[in-house]
Amino acid sequence: MAQTRILQPGLNCWRIRRAHKIAFLIDGADYFTALYHGLLLARSQVLILSWDIYSRLRLLTPEQAGPDAPRPDLSELLDGLVRRHRRLRAYVLNWDFSMLMSLNREWLPIYRLDWKTHRRVRFEMDDHCPFGGSHHQKVVVIDDRLAFAGGLDLTRGRWDTQEHRPRDPRRLAIDDSVGRPYHDVQMAVAGPVAEALGDLARERWRRATGKSLPRARGDAALWPPGLRVDLEEVDVAIVRTEPAYQEYSECREIEQLYLDSIAAARDYIYIENQYFTAPAIAAALQQRLTEDEGPDVIINLPLRTDGWLANQSMDVMRIQLFQKMRAADRHGRLGIYYPDVPGLDEPINLHAKLMIVDDRFVRIGSSNLNNRSMGLDTECDLAIEAGPGEFRISDAIHALRNRLLSEHLDVEHVLIDREVQARGSLLGAIEALRGDGRSLKPLELQLAEEPNPILTDVQLVDPERPIGADLLLHEFVPAKDTRPAGQQVVLWVIVVASIAALGAAWRFTPLSETLDVATLVSSLRELRDAPATPVLMLLLFVIAGLALVPLTALVIATAVAFGPLFGFAYALAGSLVSALAGYALGAGLGRRTVRRLAGKRINAVSRKLAKRGLLTVIVVRVVPVAPFTVINLIAGASHIRFRDFMLGTVVGMVPGMFAIVLLVDRAAASLRSPSWQNILTLILVASAVILAGVLLSRHLLNRAEAATEKPVDAAGSR
């Protein structure tokens, strides 16, 4: 049977363009080094598309730079390059990440990548995504002559060598501690395909910012000095996912190419990926496993993904799919593994997005094997196919496969080929070469406990198409199916116990000398007898609010310092004035500036929620979705009316603030004089607060559900 081409422009890829040179870069150390030397060649234009970026990232290690050589971070490197070459311009486009990820991101990257750099270094946040989607492409283009694409972002936690040494101090995590070992793959390409990637990046910039960029004016061939060339003069396909958004239609080339390449496999399918939760891909592989003469299917994944939520959702969903695939594997052709290195504190984070088929096809890019990458997030992969008789291409793909397996199995390349020949299959060779030391280990396919149905709901956790914000809220917090009262009581008891424990810590332990709240209490007590105490307290709340000091800490400190009556009055008045100041500042700065400070993603959500007016403000005050000051800034710069904002702030904050002040006062009284009367009073107050909280929550949820069922006109009224 004649071999048919897998890559089909217009069907499963965007463009196919010639690459004069290609390099396969395994792990961050190789990529960052190649990128550093590639950036030094830039003379016209640098384009960077990223899901995450870190302005202080250093691409070279101290050993590479030398003892006395400068080792600039990313912002310094780009700034220095444009200052050195007057025609050079650099454009960085980073996803406008959601608040859920803000703790793992650099705060205000615009400061060091835009405001602090030369005017020819531009940094923008990309919010041109449907609700719940993200910009996930990881592409760098230099002068339209050299480009890099794959799974690696220019941020913390990505650098590592192929050794994945335990406790390697060069491998820094988000908190600058020694990070988890990290495995990924990137591709470097030079020639016309780099120009096509430049077109992709410029179009993404235009959609995100509304401004068009000129083409690069570079005319010289570029290649980083010292970078090994794996292939020359070969065609490369650019493959995309783009969700339907505004006037742009959906593009699902990524998914189609996965399905077509799986269907075309004869001998083996080798996969490395961070996730595996896409039912369509699992079904295609499952079908191949049922065939009498189907290919081996080898899937390498991380032992577990990052974070509790991913462990409870994505990791569970992949096991559910694998159980179905294992049941269909009548011929024993399925191998599911994770890479392991003895002595590691954390298992290797296998983050690569790679597929190799039969030594004739390879794809490397940003797309995970999850639903998001099929239709909701923007993605960019590069693919190469060896046609009939193109042995130099198939040899290069074969060599890449052996490099990856050699790293994971800790064996020489020649042993892999020898075992494949002896066993008659790639899976048989892997099984023969696996050992007790550094190696590939079988991934556990049994669930430890009954999965949470919400955390494994594909439509919520891993959607392939946008879902409305109202539906998301309804699914996670349905008004007629709220948490049982017993669980509410437990949560409130935990809150009360935490406040009492904090009070005890202030009174009986050395923490009273170091806790920020205790320091606030001491400072506030000095203000009690000052003639201008009310004015000073209002000013303090405004300054502290703009400085992002947690409001709860201020309220607790005020209650302890001034007692329940004056504490409540000062806390409420100060919070309202602080909210007013933030609202006014947001209105004055305007939507674009606030978008840069707080992120356009939050602005987009706020514009949608603004249609609910007063109820929205009440809900976000009772259950804040962002820091107090951020909400104030966004409200001022959005369509939320001032009347709704202030009234909603008062109504939403008074119950919680009253509860905090009352509980702090009763907890302090019980600690000062632990009589049965005071303890009983504390219990009664806590019970009343719990009951009020449950009733208020149910009422607001019912109101929210009713509001979502009513039509809203263009002016925002019901």
What tens digit of pLDDT does each residue of 499-519 get? 444 444 434 444 334 334 455
- Supply 604's token pair: 């987009």
**Residue 718 maps to a domain:** no
pLDDT at 596 > cutoff 90: no
Q: Which pLDDT value is given to residue 695?
A: 56
Same domain, 543 and 603: yes
Angle, helix 279-290 to helix 314-328, in steps of 10 degrees: 20
Q: Do 52 and 155 reside in the same domain of the chain? A: yes
Q: Kindly report the CA angle at 75 between 74 and 81, in degrees rounded to 5?
A: 90
Residue 6 resides in a domain: no
> 498: pLDDT confidence band, cut at 50, 70 and 90?
very low
Instruction: Give residue 159's pLDDT.
Output: 93
pLDDT for the residue numbered 693: 54
Statement to judge: residues 178 and 105 lie in one domain: yes
Tokens linked to 709: 């069922």
Does residue 326 contact residue 445 with C-beta atoms inside 8 Å?
yes
- Assess whether 437 and 494 both reside in one domain: no
Q: Read off the pLDDT of each residue in 361-366 and give the average, rounded to a whole number.
A: 98
Which residues on neighbouring strands pair with residue 442, listed in sequence order?
A: 337
Residue 715 lies in a domain: no
Lowest mean pLDDT among 254-258, 510-514, 613-617, 690-694: 510-514
DSSP state of 369: B
Q: What are the pLDDT digits (tens) for 396-432?
A: 999 999 999 999 999 999 999 999 999 999 999 999 9
Percent of the chain with pLDDT over 90: 49
Report the pLDDT value the prediction gives residue 707, as an integer from 0 to 100: 43
Domain assignment of residue 74, yes or no: yes
> What is the pLDDT averaged over residues 656-675?
62
Contacts of 644 (CB under 8 A, 6+ apart): 613, 614, 616, 617
End-to-end CA distance of the chain: 65
Residues 439 and 491 in one domain: no
Q: What is the pLDDT of residues 597-629, one digit of tens each?
A: 555 445 444 544 444 456 656 655 655 445 666
CATH number of the domain residue 424 falls in: 3.30.870.10
Q: Is residue 172 in a domain?
A: yes
- Which residue is listed with tokens 């302090």? 668
Same domain as 253, residue 131:
no
Mean pLDDT calculated for residue range 28-50:
97
Q: Give the residue from 424, 653, 413, 423 showing the smallest Cα distance to 554.
A: 653
- Can you give the residue range of the structural domain that contains 435? 242-461
- In a domain, residue 10? The reply is no
The model's confidence at residue 689, banded by pLDDT at 50, 70 and 90, is low
Closest CA to 487 of 657, 655, 690: 690
Are 247 and 225 in the same domain?
no
pLDDT at 533: 77
Token duo for residue 490: 């437990």
472 pLDDT tier (thresholds 50, 70, 90): very low
pLDDT of residue 482: 39
Read off φ and ψ for residue 328, nearest 5 degrees.
-85, -10
Same domain, 365 and 256: yes
Which residues have C-beta within 8 Å of that of residue 454, sequence separation ≥ 6?
460, 475, 476
Give the confidence band of 679 by pLDDT, cuts at 50, 70, 90.
Answer: low
Contacts of 485 (CB under 8 A, 6+ apart): 694
Categorize the per-residue pLDDT at 375 as very low, low, confident or very high, splitting at 50, 70 and 90. Answer: very high
The amino acid sitting at 212 is S
Pairing type for strands 15-26 and 185-190 reads antiparallel
Confidence at residue 398, expressed as pLDDT on a 0 to 100 scale: 98
pLDDT score recorded for residue 601 = 45
Cβ distance 188 to 146 under 8 Å?
A: yes
What pLDDT band is residue 68 in, cutting at 50, 70 and 90? confident
- Considering only residues 229 and 689, tell me which one the structure prediction assigns the higher pLDDT: 229
Alpha-carbon gap, residue 327 to 286, rounded angstroms = 9
Query: Residue 429: what pLDDT?
Result: 97
* Tokens describing residue 33: 């080094």
Last residue of a domain, one of 192, 211, 239: 239
- Among 441, 461, 481, identify where a domain stops: 461
| Residue 623 or 374, more confident | 374
- 3-state class (DSSP) for residue 364: strand
Q: Is the pLDDT of residue 484 over 50?
A: no
Q: State which of 177, 206, 239 marks the end of a domain.
A: 239
Q: Which of 398, 566, 574 is nearest to 24 (CA)?
A: 398
Does residue 225 sit in the same domain as residue 288? no
Number of Cβ within 10 Å of residue 635's Cβ equals 29
The CA distance from 14 to 16, in Å, is 7
Q: How confident is the model at residue 701 (pLDDT cuts 50, 70, 90)?
A: very low
Looking at residue 687, its pLDDT comes to 59
Note the pLDDT of residue 40.
96
Q: Token pair for residue 297?
A: 């299917």
* pLDDT beyond 50 at 711: no
Per-residue confidence (pLDDT) for residue 643, from 0 to 100: 75
Judge whether 619 lies within some domain. yes
Q: Given a cut of 80, is residue 118 above it in pLDDT?
A: yes
Summarize pLDDT for 161-217 with one digit per residue, the tens. 999 999 888 887 766 778 889 999 999 999 999 999 999 999 999 999 999 999 998
Q: Where are the alpha helices (DSSP H) in 93-172?
A: 109-110
pLDDT of 515: 39
pLDDT at 518: 54
What are the backbone dihedrals phi and psi of residue 56, each rounded to the nearest 5 degrees, phi first?
-95, 10
Q: Are residues 232 and 276 in the same domain?
A: no
Question: What's the structural domain count of the chain?
Answer: 3
Residues 258 and 351 in one domain: yes
124-171 per-position pLDDT tens digit: 988 888 877 899 999 999 999 999 999 999 999 999 999 999 988 888
Which is more confidently placed, 673 or 337? 337
Is 99:603 a contact under the CB 8 Å cutoff?
no
Average pLDDT, the chain: 80
The verdict on 433 and 484 lying in the same domain is: no
Give the pLDDT confidence score for residue 62 in this predicted structure.
Answer: 87
Determine contact, residues 604/469, Cβ cutoff 8 Å: no
Helix (H) or strand (E) holding 601: helix 600-609
Bridge-based pairing state of the strands 231-242 and 15-26: antiparallel
Within a domain: residue 8? no
Nearest CA-CA partner of 299 in 223, 359, 352, 234 = 352
